[in-house]
């Protein structure tokens, strides 16, 4: 017997026998099942029930009820197949008017301080530079090469310098009121990739443009060290970029570095979001139809895995697809990116508003000084 269930719903299997003295065990793929928060087993007389709550893709499999009575054993099996979510678990209008509305809002956005500064960090090869280029594509209305990325990245970073990217708008010389800071990727070994202390110093505005990252963090005597950063030099939102197809394989030492950076940013009150890239590599359903993004169980599970690794709540995690093999702009790609970007910009501006209010308070007390 085959049983189909939609993601997030409960699946109930029953086995009824003609002996009231029978006992039963439940197995999945020949492995004994144990009760848990999401797996409930019940017996009512001669009826045995297995309830799997809020099924996920990992619940796919052959379930067997092994009934025992005296010296007899009887098996009854059912193949459970979990389908994608029947309804979208997050709403997003993937239409041209939604794209134009978000684009207009971003172009007309008036932050408290210009430019808003958004720092992207994450493992080497996660798609940080490609995300920046994808944003540039949208506003240029064509493919660009804003932030160069390596098509083949074997766990080493292509970006070597601390670079600020301004985004131009097609048809005029207008520059968007926010910039992206791109950095070298995090790598597993202590002496490889960007040092976490360098990222923390960038958050504080201490590292100047074009600094080439070294094995050791930048010292405060270096010419690239900014001793007196302005509010616009500091980072207003921290974005972690993680590849959906590699989340499960990120090394523990890389995760530790990301956690350290996140904790320091939290101490400074800097808002944080996560961009989950390479959706098409992680989920065949999304690869064939990007409109299924919020029907996909796999993508939601990957986002939950990001949340578990970093401690960022799900509502600040956004799935995006970077431009990679496309030769023209794609509406669905644009809307996903713009939705994530707009929320990031609002968070950055909220942080600035709070920061400026705090500065106003301190200005009444000239003997106080705010440390970076």
Pick the CATH number of 2-83 from 3.90.1150.140, 2.60.40.10, 3.40.50.300, 3.40.50.10860: 2.60.40.10
Residue 166 host element (H or E) = strand 163-168
Could you please report the per-residue DSSP string of 13-42? EEEE-S-TT-EEEEEETTEE----SSEEEE
Give me the long-range contacts of 145-153 (CB less than 8 A, separation at least 24).
147/180, 147/182, 150/125, 153/124, 153/125
Give the homologous superfamily in CATH for domain 96-363: P-loop containing nucleotide triphosphate hydrolases (3.40.50.300)
| Residue-range domain boundaries for the chain | 2-83, 96-363
Mean residue pLDDT across the chain: 89
Q: Is the pLDDT of residue 193 over 80?
A: yes
Q: Is the pLDDT of residue 366 over 80?
A: no
Could you give phi then psi for residue 122, rounded to 5 degrees?
155, 180
* pLDDT value, residue 136: 95
Q: Please choose, from the candidates 48, 47, 64, the residue with its C-alpha nearest in 3D space to the C-alpha of residue 3.
A: 64
Tell me the whole-structure pTM to 2 decimals: 0.83
Question: Using alpha carbons only, what angle is made at residue 12 by residues 7 and 15, rounded to the nearest 5 degrees?
Answer: 150
pLDDT in tens, 132-169: 999 999 999 998 876 655 444 445 556 789 999 999 99
pLDDT in tens, 31-75: 999 999 999 999 998 899 999 999 988 899 999 999 998 888 899
């Amino acid at each position: 017997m085959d049983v189909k269930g939609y993601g997030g719903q409960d699946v109930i299997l029953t086995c009824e026998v003609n002996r009231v003295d029978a006992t039963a065990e439940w197995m999945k793929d020949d492995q004994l099942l144990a009760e848990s928060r999401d797996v409930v087993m019940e017996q009512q007389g001669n009826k045995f029930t297995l309830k799997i709550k809020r099924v996920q893709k990992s619940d796919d499999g052959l379930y067997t009820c092994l009934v025992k009575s005296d010296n007899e054993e009887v098996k009854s099996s059912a193949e459970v197949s979990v389908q994608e979510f029947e309804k979208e678990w997050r709403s997003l209008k993937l239409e041209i008017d939604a794209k134009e509305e978000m684009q207009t809002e971003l172009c007309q956005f008036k932050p408290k301080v210009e430019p808003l500064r958004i720092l992207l960090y994450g493992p080497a090869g996660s798609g940080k530079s490609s995300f920046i280029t994808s944003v540039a594509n949208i506003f240029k209305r064509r493919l660009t090469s804003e932030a160069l990325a390596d098509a083949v990245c074997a766990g080493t970073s292509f970006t070597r310098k601390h670079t600020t990217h301004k985004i131009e708008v097609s048809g005029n010389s207008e520059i968007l009121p926010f910039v992206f800071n791109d950095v070298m990727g995090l790598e597993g070994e202590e002496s490889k990739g960007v040092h976490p202390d360098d990222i923390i110093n960038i958050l504080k505005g201490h590292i100047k443009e074009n600094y080439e990252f070294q094995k050791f963090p930048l010292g405060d005597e270096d010419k690239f060290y900014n001793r007196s950063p302005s509010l616009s030099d500091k980072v207003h939102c921290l974005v972690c970029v993680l590849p959906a197809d590699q989340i499960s394989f990120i090394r523990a030492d890389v995760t530790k570095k990301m956690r350290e950076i996140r904790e320091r940013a939290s101490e400074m009150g800097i808002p944080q979001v996560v961009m989950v890239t390479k959706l098409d590599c992680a989920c065949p359903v999304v690869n064939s139809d990007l409109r299924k993004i919020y029907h996909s169980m796999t993508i939601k599970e990957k986002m939950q895995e990001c949340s578990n690794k970093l401690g960022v709540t799900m509502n600040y995690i956004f799935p995006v697809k970077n431009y990679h093999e496309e030769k023209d702009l794609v509406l669905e790609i644009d809307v996903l990116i713009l939705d994530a970007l707009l929320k990031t910009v609002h968070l950055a501006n909220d942080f600035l508003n709070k920061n400026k209010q705090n500065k106003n308070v301190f200005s009444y007390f000239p003997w106080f000084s705010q440390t970076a």
